[in-house]
Structure 1
Amino acid sequence: MNSPLSEAVIAGADAAALESLPLPDHFPAACVRADDVSMFEGVEDKDVRKSLSVWDVPMPELAPDEALIAVMASAINYNTVWTAMFEPLPTFQFLREMGKAGGWQARHDLRYHIVGSDASGVIVRTGSSVRRWKVGDHVSISPAYVDEQDPDTHHDGMLGLGQKAWGFETNFGGLAHYAVVRASQLMPKPPALTWEEAAVNPLCASTAYRMLVSDRGARMKQGDIVLVWGATGGLGSYAVQLVRNGGGVPVGVVNSDEKARLLRSLGCDAVINRQEVLGGDDTLLRRPEGWKKMGRAVRDAVGEDPHIVFEHVGKATFAASVFLARRGGTVVTCGSSTGYEHTYDNRYLWMRLKRIIGSHGANLHEQCEVNRLITMGSVVPALSKTYPLAEVGAAARVVQTNQHIGKVGVLCLAPRPDLGVTDPEARARMGEERLRLFRG
């Protein structure tokens, strides 16, 4: 049963009503436990349904620069899968390091880890030093957890030594009824979107924005050909939209006809089905004969080699990415879902004057820029399916086994999908069919 405060949030109560109700002592949250970190030793299939489950956890105390969010919806990202697999290392190591810092950081060092790096919801409490936000505000959450007193943070929030991924390297994440965030993570929720549509965007959309559009990334310009691996996945689906919006030419790589059709409906005219190009043998992506087949496929599609390769797959594709980028081209990478140890032929990098750019998350300015594009309807949510919080293990398993497209949402306090729209006229202008493209 929900607490009176939770019921008031669901009912749309005003700020005065929310402030008058007490916080619940405990709340449901998706967690992994420190006692389980060795459960997958010697196991080939590290099934996250066995390690990720919903527990009743105590309400944490709020620091002066933080807000308490009643989470209406959240989403699954691959960092939640890593956390639930306890790879490449158990995230309790991150929480212990936070605990050593003392002060408010010590709260994070617990025997359970509340996960989740995306969320939308309602502010129900603010700390004493929060200025720009108030109880009752509808918000989306940036996953960039930064130290505002670090000088490097003021150059770029992602460069500060204390920068962390919320809900992955910190506790009290978004896959829960309540979440603790710093005020510097808050953004206005796009009013035309439902709770679950708003929840799935922040991490992936902002990461793609920084990789492609920001002056800290590949600095894509009009006419640039951009090869996008996993173009209907969480990152790729936003990358394709940003490339098209910026006057570039997206070349989307997928592995099925169904995904190819979806990609074309998203406006990506150049689509490569790697199953057809490689004859179903993805191991060719690690060998020159496979690289050359992909290169021919790109040139057949658009007539040129790519200026930019949008890389996040890692070990399985990185050698191909370095080869495929044109002379003087750029490989921009933000992750390695298939493995971190990359092997590639360095001759294609140095002799052809290519660049590799590392990119991680997005600072608050970049987050807000892409949130503005989403609010305008220039970028649409990649939500494909929604699960209730009670089935969070199953939702994470779908992402772990790559059985999804776009983003997988999770309803937390929202009792059902399709709630939370406060500007139906803007939604009508955007178009219901377009907003539901990934759920088609």
Structure 2
Amino acid sequence: MRTIAGELTFEEILSKTRALMPGVVQDLKSLIRYPSVAFPGYPKKPVLAMADATVAVLREYGIPDAHHIEIPGGYPAVYGEIPAPPGKPTVLMYAHYDVQPAQKEDGWETDPWEPVEKIGRLYGRGSADDKSGILLIAASLRIFEGKPPVGVKVLIEGEEETTSHIEELVAARPDLFSCDAIIIADNGNLSVDEPALTTTLRGEASCIVEVSTLDHAVHSGMFGGAAPDALVALIRILATLHDARGNVAVQGLRSDAPGDGEYPVNRYRESAGVLDGVDLIGTGPLGDRLWSRPSVTVIGIDAPSLKTAANILIPRAAAKISMRIAPDADAGHELLVLMDHLRAAAPWNAHVEVREVGHSPGFSCPTGGPGYTAAKSALATAFGQPVLEKGTGGSIPLLRTLHDAVPHAEFVLWGAEDASGSRIHGTNESVDLGDLERTIIA
């Protein structure tokens, strides 16, 4: 019998978790039914209802003082605390209750707000990102019947997927975040049943570039061939963002040192849905392209649609550009480099305006400390195989804020998501219930 944390054996934790899982799945289904989209313009009522439901779940599972904390300008966070036994460390556990938008017309096979269990997976928006994180935290506390062998603080954010205001809470109430280790239950594995810890996250910077060439639309037959078309000019600017192989061609951006983790190419192609015969872009190890180098994506264009197309020269066109940046890069500096590149790439002296949308830093997780080492060992035990250390292209801006507020604290980034099937932010999002169980055990 292997003793865990001086309180329970591994076998006892395994047995208790398996007994809990039917209730965990039902509670996760209930949370999925709340369309808690915190984006501007979406209804507030379901977001606030989800905050209430989160409080109820945490109280039921072992944090009797779980409560709302009002966030000025934003949605409430949910917070609760179990004081540490004398001489024991304190762990802060984080997840978020807000989700990305979703509607069945986007290509969902089922209603995104009505959970469906199928072949060991639970489908629905937020099933993986990150309502599974709430149940991961709650169930782990239920295992200890609300009396874990360490102190626990739980923070469930309501604006992780949109413009967050929680940094203001960190600044105003540093006492809430004082701890020895921070467990972020908003990550996961590359594949089902293959455990992973995330050690780096890329940051994000975005801007809008607007091109103007004419003061009004004109007949393309009468004026085409000499008068410049703004959409063509915009296309030429956007084409300078990558070289012929697909590498980012913006000079002056930072790339971090290559990591040790690798992403199997065939698995990546399948997970990303790359069509047969279509090449991957960029050069070098796939893990580096995804985790330690910048990437640039055009995520929207303002121009006439096919439905409204006419035989005219277009006077104005605009695009929104999102750039993932190296984990240790200065987000503000990287954004300025991108904006300068866009201005310099303008053809034909076209008028170009570039304006910032926002930026957030990446993060590099300190490894090797006792908390991280214990987490790695626990994950290996729960899954029964070695743990991969990897990066991720996604960003969690709060991590840098927490690191600055609690610089001595260790970080553990894991969760029940899997890159091969969870499809977070996309259609048919799902969580593997076996991975959720194994991560609760960890």
TM-score by length of 1: 0.30
Q: Which has the higher helix share?
A: 1
RCO higher in structure (CA 8 A, sep ≥6): 2
